[in-house]
Structure 1
């Protein structure tokens, strides 16, 4: 049966903190007094004020425990019940208006238990509010229950004094069995979640992370909930153990429990109708609307949940949107888009800038006998409609999957590829460089789109949105080597070369690809280990992909070399060579940590600093991110220059005026080719007869979808290309007078 206990009515509103947890010389309000920073001076009610309050239908267990400011107006308090110590700020005869909601200042028709109420609040029909500190000009209308318990943690995975470990909240991200679980905390960055979930064999590191989290927060029971200035809450059922920042807007929510909702004037958070949110952290500028269900979650800043989305045991990165669908046990980096009702993610690590379409089943686990599967996808992951993927699968950056049921685990290591299934031939097909060949418009446009949408107010982690960056370029190098090797293997099999020569396969493949041998068209080129099946994985358009991959690496390097020269005024080849020699540049391994790219050695140094206690808090970890972000431009430039010399197979000493002139000319050609690819990939949408057939005339089509000639993004890219060429011409004149 329900355990319902009886207590004297005179105790209601008191003894919020058990006496054993109250420090010597303190009372039960000592934490409340620390939290209330209003600076208001309170006094007791006058006899006249008490008389007015009674006349207005108010009651209390003890009028002496209602304290007010000098600007208190008793005429603005009607039909309220007060219990415990209640402190009320200024009340003036105004009404507050927000989004056409007009509410008079004052306290009306509410039960208020041991709360601090700021200046000119409007509280009306709040059936039960206890142990909250309310800011100035806050509107609370039609709320059924709003209370704070003595052990409130506001979504943080900490334990209060006297609590058992079983009460701790964990996020079981990336794997359903809890093997990568992390403790959520206010301010958690995606990089924090990644570090904590990745290095599971490092017990000392994991213990340090727990220590960082526990010392971030006080463990004494008895903290009050808070509602910041100018926050509006209306028509909401239950709000328990919730800390809410300023200028938030909550309307029609069903249940909010154990949450931190961060909000401020320049990054307002909103929660709408039918939402049920439990055990979570919601960062600045988030939007949550229309029947969302979220349990054990963290939402980074400027992210959205909409239209019945479900987010459970997951971390959602900043500038991300999930609509309709379900996400379980996942760690998602920034700039993620996921829509439509029947798609979901399960036990996944998604490295950002991803787009999950309708019908996608990303992370189904029905080929396993336990909840131990995982899926990892690099930046720019884009599965097609109704794609089904099995655990365990892993995808390189900018992998696009064509519609299909992928019945076997996948390991796609070639970036910028289109992966599809040829049902007729029962083969898996991989087309490297697909994005560059056929979808350059989207690839280039997404860079600007993600940058424009990055409205984080606290940019602790520097997020890379460009498609040519240390992580993708390193994958391009690996892909070039792989293409050489599998081409050589196919050639040897085609030519019946003995297995004793297999070790020379990569050399043979390189020679064929660099000479653009026509025999490549005759080869059936497969890549081993791409799929956990016996059917072949065929690689198509390999010559074109090989040329593009090499060209994009060179373009990346040339641009950064010229930028380095210009920024440092190195317009003498000797000065440039001397500066580069002093840098001792090498191409290093890089890692994507929550959308922030770092050299692998920097990640290892971070771990070492944590091990040796040079870093002792999450704040210091975040300072490390900021410092790494400050070095990123220089580090990326050095990586790009090292990549250029490596792909060109020369060292710094070989740099000459003539070679630099060749590279400048190549950069101009590549930039013009990119523009042509952007235009071609967009123009095909206008020339497609199956698109044209929806319109009775060209004029109607232009009116509906706009004219190709008026495309603002293409116009902008033409200007960028013209400026790029002009700049390179100017640089060439400086280097070659």
Structure 2
């Protein structure tokens, strides 16, 4: 039952902090730190008080209404002041933002113990308590602005005297809370990923929490803040808010317990009908039209729109969610989900992903417990009306065809297509599908995500290239799976032999794989058959793309270095291919990650800011790490160590890479041109010319033209390198 307490009117605006939690016996100790210009204020003159009273203003103690020497009492009208209120410099001006024109001053408002910067325009704020308002801020038509003495601003901390149950947690990756993390301002996807894993390492988990709590004060008495040049209008409730500068908020229902990062370079906007509670919002975010978000982190330059629901989830940089619902999920950067009837729950999605209409990942409620987990690598794409069951795993760039997948899946083939064959009740897995049948969409991903990366400070290297250490390692693993499947299909049961070696021999021979189904083991938790489609084409394509990935790195180096330099350099490299881990979109060698975790355990890393410095150092060295990985990959796929690479070997590989680049471009152009040649695509237009007017001409396609120019540049580089190699004896 709600309990209304009666207290003396003279006390309104005072005793904000419970006496037991006062620091230095000063109610304003932390407030003065937040508002460092408090020393320039003076008391009102008697003449100023007369003008204020004449303008229908009231204070329970005019001695506690402080102003500067640039005070204009005529611009304070029909307002009430309680407790200590400090009003910064005023000017005979009005502020204009997008045709909202408001005179400087405070009008028709009730102010309790708050501070104002210079030249503010405050109109019709019915109740404001314990806020610090920056310079040139516009506030208009707001019902409530209040702050609690134990405000945490969305961070998962406890204040002195709080009980553990009051702590905010993000229950990520599954519905049972077993991977929950404590949110904090500045938290990156890599932080969340590391904290949500390693659950059997209690020492590490304890250190993660210590590192977070070290960044914040447990004391009471911090005020809400509205940063310089921010605008808030036509809003109902704002409570426990820390808002940066240049933010724009309009028509919002509720903002509660939030940190809203914003700056002149990356300003955040929040629009009509939104209700945001217990969250952290990054720089440059856009949140509009009926969004509901509770217990969440929205990373920089991301968007929530059109009634999106984001609950108990982390959404990485440069992502967009509109219309749909996302629960209990950890999502890395560059995620796209636009459809009202798509649903994502209890998942770890490693970025550059797209959820189609009708896709439902989670909450099947077909087990005896809460949803488990789905882990999906980069480029995850569940297609139209796909339904998946927990627990499942998907390699990078898995495309899933429309259908209900009633059993757990473990798809270990990157760039693959997964589909149900309804008439035979079989699962079909087609590895390397994207390279074989839709090169345009595949290769466009890299440039698409790079162009959408709106971060102003790119101090963390997010890998957008489809060919990178993570996907290449997955291709190597897939090669082994294909070899085993083919070997098992072609070896007689009574023959004792190395199944993988037999499969590899068949795949590398000219023998055609006909007349037999190649079946996969441990892909689906069911008794039905799982068929490996086009194994030989996929196998050869994987090997080709691995070589292309590796040689492309070498070509970039040889544009400025000689073959002798290259040979000297790579001869010193380890020939073992490194394992990489995707931590929040950043690819990190596993050995470096293990060192970081050890340093955290041993108190060599004392805060998450220290961990971020390590991320940034890794970013500076990533290109070098990637090059070493490429060299080791080339050695493995060719069977020749770097010390044995002579000029002819390298020339042959570079010329093959040239042919691969030409093939890639031909497939890009071909896969897009099919849309122009398909009569069913043309039938809705009266003529071919009308179709070109509506969808654009093929020859004007920006991506294809860019790739054509890239091919010409690549050919020039290759010719120069090949000419130099021909001179090496």
TM bucket (normalised to shorter chain) is over 0.9
For residue 583 of structure 1, give the secondary structure of its aligned residue in structure 2: coil
Quick check: 2:298–2:316 contact (8 Å CA) kept in 1? yes
For residue 514 of structure 2, give the secondary structure of its aligned residue in structure 1: helix
1:723 equivalent in alignment to 2:713: yes
- Change in Cα spacing, 1:499 to 1:54, as seen in structure 2 (3 Å) is farther
For residue 357 of structure 2, give the secondary structure of its aligned residue in structure 1: coil
Q: Distance in 1 between matches of 2:77 and 2:547?
A: 75
Q: How many residues align?
A: 727
Which residue of the partner structure matches residue 29 of structure 2?
30
How far does the alpha carbon of each residue in 1:549-606 deviate from its partner, in whole angstroms, 9 at most, with x for none?
A: 0000000111112323344x2333xx43332122334211111001100111111111
Which residue of the partner structure matches residue 679 of structure 1?
669
For residue 522 of structure 1, give the secondary structure of its aligned residue in structure 2: coil
1:664 equivalent in alignment to 2:659: no
Q: Distance in 1 between matches of 2:162 and 2:365?
A: 38
Q: Distance in 2 between matches of 1:27 and 1:488?
A: 78
Which residue of the partner structure matches residue 514 of structure 1?
508
Which residue of the partner structure matches residue 408 of structure 1?
407
For residue 404 of structure 2, give the secondary structure of its aligned residue in structure 1: coil
Q: Distance in 2 between matches of 1:435 and 1:318?
A: 25
State the Cα distance separating 1:396 from its structure 2 match: 0.2
Output aligned runs, 1:582-661, within 5 Å: 582-661=572-651
Quick check: 1:40–1:69 contact (8 Å CA) kept in 2? no
Which residue of the partner structure matches residue 202 of structure 1?
201
Which residue of the partner structure matches residue 525 of structure 1?
518
Output aligned runs, 1:254-403, within 5 Å: 254-403=253-402
TM-score (norm 1): 0.97
Which residue of the partner structure matches residue 3 of structure 2?
3
For residue 498 of structure 2, give the secondary structure of its aligned residue in structure 1: helix
Quick check: 2:132–2:225 contact (8 Å CA) kept in 1? yes
1:553 equivalent in alignment to 2:546: yes
For residue 521 of structure 1, give the secondary structure of its aligned residue in structure 2: coil
Q: Distance in 2 between matches of 1:499 and 1:169?
A: 61
Q: Distance in 2 between matches of 1:123 and 1:23?
A: 31
Q: Distance in 2 between matches of 1:191 and 1:584?
A: 27
Quick check: 2:23–2:29 contact (8 Å CA) kept in 1? no
State the Cα distance separating 1:458 from its structure 2 match: 3.6
Which residue of the partner structure matches residue 106 of structure 1?
105
For residue 297 of structure 1, give the secondary structure of its aligned residue in structure 2: strand
Which segment drifts farther, 256-265 or 645-654?
A: 645-654
Q: Distance in 2 between matches of 1:665 and 1:533?
A: 46
Which segment drifts farther, 409-418 or 438-447?
A: 438-447
Q: Distance in 2 between matches of 1:505 and 1:213?
A: 50
1:571 equivalent in alignment to 2:552: no
How far does the alpha carbon of each residue in 1:434-490 deviate from its partner, in whole angstroms, 9 at most, with x for none?
A: 100111111111111111111123434321000000000000001111111101111
Q: Distance in 1 between matches of 2:532 and 2:103?
A: 70
For residue 348 of structure 2, give the secondary structure of its aligned residue in structure 1: strand
Q: CA RMSD in A?
A: 1.1
How far does the alpha carbon of each residue in 1:119-142 deviate from its partner, in whole angstroms, 9 at most, with x for none?
A: 111100000001000001100000
Q: Distance in 2 between matches of 1:534 and 1:299?
A: 41
Quick check: 1:17–1:221 contact (8 Å CA) kept in 2? yes
Q: Which runs of 5+ in 1 are unaligned?
A: none
Q: Distance in 2 between matches of 1:652 and 1:178?
A: 48
Quick check: 1:295–1:311 contact (8 Å CA) kept in 2? yes
Output aligned runs, 1:440-519, within 5 Å: 440-492=439-491, 497-501=492-496, 503-518=497-512
Quick check: 1:175–1:348 contact (8 Å CA) kept in 2? yes
Which residue of the partner structure matches residue 713 of structure 1?
703
Which residue of the partner structure matches residue 555 of structure 2?
562
State the Cα distance separating 1:511 from its structure 2 match: 1.4
Quick check: 1:95–1:104 contact (8 Å CA) kept in 2? yes
State the Cα distance separating 1:500 from its structure 2 match: 4.1
Which residue of the partner structure matches residue 158 of structure 1?
157
Q: Distance in 1 between matches of 2:37 and 2:460?
A: 33
Q: Which runs of 5+ in 2 are unaligned?
A: none
State the Cα distance separating 1:372 from its structure 2 match: 4.6
State the Cα distance separating 1:99 from its structure 2 match: 1.1
Q: Distance in 2 between matches of 1:413 and 1:641?
A: 24
State the Cα distance separating 1:37 from its structure 2 match: 3.0
Quick check: 2:575–2:641 contact (8 Å CA) kept in 1? no
